[in-house]
Amino acid sequence: MHFLIVLPVAFFASLLSSMSGAGSAMLTTPVWLALGFPLPVAIASNQLNGAGWTLIAARNYLKGHRIDWVLMRAMILCGLAGAYAGTVIVRGVDPRLLQRVIGAIILSLVVVVALNPSLGRNESEPALSRTVTALLAFPLGVYESFFGSGNGLFTSLLLAKGRGQTLVVSLGCYYLVAFFWNCFAVAVYATAGLADARLMIPSTVGSVAGAYLGSRIGRHKGHDWVRALFVLLGGVLGLKLALGL
């Protein structure tokens, strides 16, 4: 019974997420909880789903584009340190208040993108150094490890505005670093005994299929399509978190 619900929900959530960066957890987590899975188990499953599909999405978005590997490696390492901190937070702190604050921040990012239609359309000169950009990956890693929804918005805007990348490439770079962050979080949750195959297997299968299709659509449609979904789904996510819905 779980399989018939989990797989299509995971497919649809990653389909939308892979085209916008809004995050699939905003759709999947309430469903997993409604099915009776504990919150830490639901989060652990979401992290495994992310590890399964972010690398596929990264490949589809970054194929044929130049990648700043020095920056990517630095962001991965700083984000991993943050991811460890995040796994401690989720097991010891109620994240509801933090999610409200993050919701307000996401809404402000959506406004910035909505009011700047040319942002991330073409490459531009970097506004931040690699070092500063990499250090900002620490709080992103913290958030990624215990919730993650909206992190694609944060990271994409950071890379588009801070490093002058296009929005499409920035989204691909986020999926690249998120793959490593998710893998680390999965290892931590698994060793804590939070793995549940009834949820993890069908949700990962659905997520991988949805993200493969969604990232191909996003790459084909280009900047305007990704930006529109960025604003629409980011706005929905921001309101949901800010209002505690």
Helices (H), the chain: 2-20, 25-34, 39-62, 69-92, 96-115, 130-135, 137-146, 151-157, 167-191, 197-221, 223-242
- Give 38-91 pLDDT, tens digit per residue: 877 888 888 888 888 888 889 988 988 889 999 999 999 998 888 788 767 665
Amino acid residing at 24: S
pLDDT, the chain, mean: 81
- Give 157-214 pLDDT, tens digit per residue: 889 888 888 888 888 898 899 888 888 878 887 887 877 888 888 988 998 998 888 8
Amino acid residing at 42: A
Domain ranges of the chain: 2-242
| Burial (0-12, 13-18, 19+ Cβ within 10 Å), 89 | middle
**Alpha carbon of 3 to those of 7, 197, 205: distances in Å?**
6, 11, 10
